Structure 1
Amino acid sequence: MKRHSLVSPAERTPTSSAARPIRQTNQPQGSQTRSDKPAPLCLLDQHLMGLVPGWKPADETRINRLLAYFGADTPEKRETYLKGFNAASAEVIQRGFHVVGAKPKQDDQNVYNLRIPNSDLAIRMWEGGMGPYGQFCVDFYDVKRKVSVNLPPGHSLHPATVSAPASFAHYGFASPVRHTTMYPPPGFPMAMNAPGFQMAGQLRSWERNMGMREIPDGEEKWMIPQGAYITLKRDGHPDVVFQIPTLQPAFVALQPQLGPL
């Protein structure tokens, strides 16, 4: 396999102290890393730990493996390539670093909330960088403890059963019917289980679909298309049907006007 240079060590060097290689024995400047979390060894991990609470930085073995892939097979080369990697990361961060799906902060005003009846839990919905894809991020939230939680035991999310318009019966659709790619909402199968989808299957979280066996506490989330109708099922409780919010798209096509010309 042909190797590609990660950076040019001779040309790309740190321009500030923030881009210097981060050593395991020293805590990075400006970091709020807690004692129970490993210290980041590169600038990119340091930045991501500030954006994503559950982010786990790469350990020394993983960092060395990455640098070795790009040709840094000695301690001297690793030091040089790590400096270049940090400098490249600093440039990306300065231009603006966007993380999709990051959990909102407690005082975030751009979060939709739905209290679950007879429960201390709520369902939160926020854009989370998924607006361009027509989707919302969704998670469960403990209102009393004020922390997000993973899927609670006995709870599950499903596409809701909705009634199809009467005219659909002429095209072979019974009423009511499950969500289809036609009605409603457009693109709903995007939220179904990978690799295929089941019309009435349980919605799996992003982490489960990525194959994660252990999900850090409070980090589980779902990506669901805007406008979708969802059923929350709970053991021993009636189903709760709710709808994902809909945002005005950034691009608006010309709209026809009602009335004679």
Structure 2
Amino acid sequence: MRRLAPYQSGLWLAEYGDVRCQLCRIYRSTPQSHLPQNQPSAIPPNNHSFFTKLRQHVNNRFDSGLLCSDCHNSIVWLPKSFDVDITAGTSLSIQAATYYDYPIRQAIRAFKHHEDMTKLPLLLHALRQLPRPQGCHRDNSVIVAMPTTNQRLVKRGFDPVSILAAQLSKHWQIPLWNGVERIDNTVSQQGLTRAERLGNLDNAFALVETPPAKRLLLFDDVATTGASLQALARTLYLQTLPLGASVSSSSDNPYKLQAFTLAHGSQY
């Protein structure tokens, strides 16, 4: 039997076992008088379909979201997408699920820097607001999570971006692809100006295998200036150009790039 990672177990419990809003902790969109009473279950505990029926039971009574409607409306404002240049005449569109503001900012920091998995359901709820790009599906697209370095992975002990990307992959039904590596010679982007961020990321990525699909959906947890996604896109764009193709002509590259992020805004 396949074992679930701790965060997967927590997400399952938050989504199907906890009927409270993951932010205000009040019941999700359902008056207390309408909540099911503690009655003996008609499903035997040893029935192999117990969890399937339990999931159906919960889904029939509660919203599929993890927040109540008031909390949802207070934090989920899909920002307008913005563009960053990849090369002359070619740009990358970046779409965020929400703004890097309270309470998302505090939840992201707790999740990334303190491995606080209790904040993951809130982040997942916001992440699910990202609409799947039109025309993208599992046969023509892959999600490219912002890669981390071995040094950072050892120091942190886990990769928060890959966890979020895996949840987005599940939501969109589009596979992940790990064909890009990050070179371990850059410093943290926090506190740097845009020019410093771009310089810091020069030659920070390398393509290690040919992409298996023509539509590459880049993902990062937070985009402030968009410099990290810009550098990743530039590596993918330049290293997938056919031999002899023009760098400045997007029509010469058979791959189409878009970028997505959980939150957009200043880190201060």
- The alignment's TM-score, normalised by the length of structure 2, stands at 0.24
Larger Rg: 1
Q: Which has the higher helix share?
A: 2
- Larger RCO, structures 1/2 (Cα 8 Å, 6+ apart): 2
